[in-house]
Amino acid sequence: MNRRNFLKALIGISFLFFASPNLLASSAGFTLSERNRWTHIIEKDQFSFLAIGDMGTGWKTQYEIIEQMENHLNPGTDSVLLLGDIVYPYPTTEQDFKEKFEKPFKPLIDKELRFYPAWGNHDWHTEEAKLLKDYFVAPNYYTFVNGPAQFWAVNSNKFDSNQIKWLKESLSISKSPWKIVFLHHSPYSSGKGHHNNQHLIKNLTPILNEFNVDLCLSGHNHLYERSEKIGSTIYITSGGGSASLHKYDDKANFPRVKANSIHHFLLIEGNNKKLNLKAIDKIGNTIDSMNLEKNF
Ligand SMILES: [Fe+2]
């Protein structure tokens, strides 16, 4: 390869690692199917991101929540975690994407926010989320670093030995002050739709504890719930992105700080020492907030 072609290839590789998923999705010819090729690092001192789960209805509530997400953007807010069930009922047509993702999320897409999907059971139903994977050009599970936080998108539809091995290896070499895992199914929830997930409690939560994961964000239960610290980790269920709400049990069978059956999204910000989480409803009220601090 001559010098000119080498430089062209280098620019192409840099683009793959740093461009937003949306840019990638619209770039003809790229098929990123291996998780490591999706891994990237955004270098900065702070992080600010949004999270929303179970949002893919195309209903008025989805638009109201996204309007509030836009209202709460800060100058550093650069990404959105999608906590699964991105398109209801099953993402089978391009029309579904348009009506339930592209149209409602247009204000955030236009602002060039990055979208990081975790696959929900509805997404996974059609050919293991093939259509959505093609759209986002995203793999089954992956990790990325955004400033002082590292994120792991876990695929809770198929949390098997391969994924467990990957997650352990990846967590063991992380140097990030904040470790955040996100997935669709809640390990802990009292939501009357689904409750605790014993497979994840048995196979995932010991890993999060062992490697000092700070936050585990999930959806699936259409409500808001926040646990106390269980081992190293606080578990947040944020499945109130627009689908019909679930009730919660008055008495949860895990240590719970807060529960609210309400449509909402999350805004999470921080630096290498502090993290602030807010849950915000569709009229802009903060329904829960939490501060964490690192003591080095
Ligand atoms: Fe779900």
User: What is the residue-wise DSSP string for 234-294?
Assistant: EEEEE--SSSPPPPB-SS-SS-EEEEE---EEEEEEE-SSEEEEEEEETTS-EEEEEEEE-
* Distance between CA atoms of residues 89 and 56, nearest Å: 8
Lowest average pLDDT, out of 117-131, 177-191, 267-281, goes to: 117-131
State the amino acid at position 258 in one-letter form: K
Contact 295, 276 (CB under 8 A): no
What is the average per-residue pLDDT within 71-90?
A: 94
In angstroms, rounded to a whole number, what is the distance separating the alpha carbons of residues 236 and 156? 15
Q: Token digits for 215?
A: 């936050």
Strand partners, 230: 233
Ligand 1 centroid, distance to 84 Cα (angstroms): 7
| pLDDT-based confidence at residue 41 (cuts at 50, 70, 90) | confident
Mean pLDDT of 115-133: 87
Query: How far, in Å, is the centroid of ligand 1 from the Cα of 255?
Result: 22
Q: Ligand 1 centroid to 223 CA: how many Å?
A: 12
Which structure tokens are listed for 224? 């808001």
Span from the CA of 174 to the centroid of ligand 1 (angstroms): 29
- Across residues 4-9, what is the average pLDDT? 36
Distance 122 CA to ligand 1 centre (A): 6
The closest of 47, 42, 49 to 14, measured between CA atoms, is: 42
Domain boundaries, the chain: 3-293
Distance 123 CA to ligand 1 centre (A): 9
HSE-CB for 32 with a 13 A CA cutoff: 30
What is the Å distance from ligand 1's center to 7 Cα?
A: 44
Cα 124 to averaged position of ligand 1 atoms, centre (Å): 10
Question: Stretch 262-276: mean pLDDT, rounded?
Answer: 97
How far, in Å, is the centroid of ligand 1 from the Cα of 190? Answer: 14
The answer on pLDDT for 20 being more than 80 is no
> How many angstroms separate the alpha carbon of residue 275 from the centre of ligand 1?
27
Q: Is residue 248 classed as helix, strand or coil in its secondary structure?
A: strand
pLDDT above 80: residue 180: yes
Written as one letter, the residue type at 180 is: I
Q: Give yes or no for residue 2 having a pLDDT over 80.
A: no
Check residue 91 and give its pLDDT.
66
Quote the ligand 1 centre to 243 CA distance (angstroms): 10
Q: What is the pLDDT of residue 257?
A: 97
Query: pLDDT grade, residue 1 (50/70/90)?
Result: very low
How remote is the CA of residue 89 from the centroid of ligand 1, in Å?
Answer: 10
Token digits of residue 82: 């999608």
Confidence of residue 38 (pLDDT cuts 50, 70, 90): low
How many angstroms does the Cα of residue 224 sit away from the middle of ligand 1? Answer: 14
User: Cα of 75 to ligand 1 centre, how many Å?
Assistant: 31
The model's confidence at residue 231, banded by pLDDT at 50, 70 and 90, is: very high
DSSP letter (8 states) at residue 95 = H
pLDDT higher than 80, residue 61: yes
Ligand 1 mean position, distance from CA 239 (Å)? 8
Compute the chain's Rg from CA coordinates. Answer: 18
Q: What is the mean pLDDT of the chain?
A: 86
Q: Is residue 24 pLDDT above 80, yes or no? A: no
Judged by phi (left if over 0) then psi (alpha if -120 to 50, else beta), residue 200 lies in: alpha
Report the pLDDT value the prediction gives residue 204, as an integer from 0 to 100.
98
Q: Please give the distance, rounded to the nearest whole angstrom, from the Cα atom of residue 4 to the centre of ligand 1.
A: 49
In this prediction, residues 28-52 reach a mean pLDDT of 66
User: What was the pLDDT predicted at 30?
Assistant: 32
**pLDDT value of residue 234:** 98
Q: How far is the CA of 121 from the centre of ligand 1 (A)?
A: 5
- The model's pLDDT over 84-99, given as tens digits with 9 standing for 90+, comes to 999 998 767 788 888 9
Could you tell me the distance, in angstroms and rounded to a whole number, from the CA of residue 153 to the centre of ligand 1? 15
Give the C-alpha separation, 212 to 150, whole Å.
12
Confidence bin at 9 (pLDDT 50/70/90): very low
Q: What percentage of the chain exceeds 70 in pLDDT?
A: 86
In this predicted structure, the answer to whether residue 275 has a pLDDT above a threshold of 90 is: yes
Residue range 37-57: mean pLDDT, rounded: 87
Contacts of 229 (CB under 8 A, 6+ apart): none
pTM score, whole prediction: 0.87
Looking at CATH, the fold of the domain delimited by 3-293 is given as Purple Acid Phosphatase; chain A, domain 2 (3.60.21)
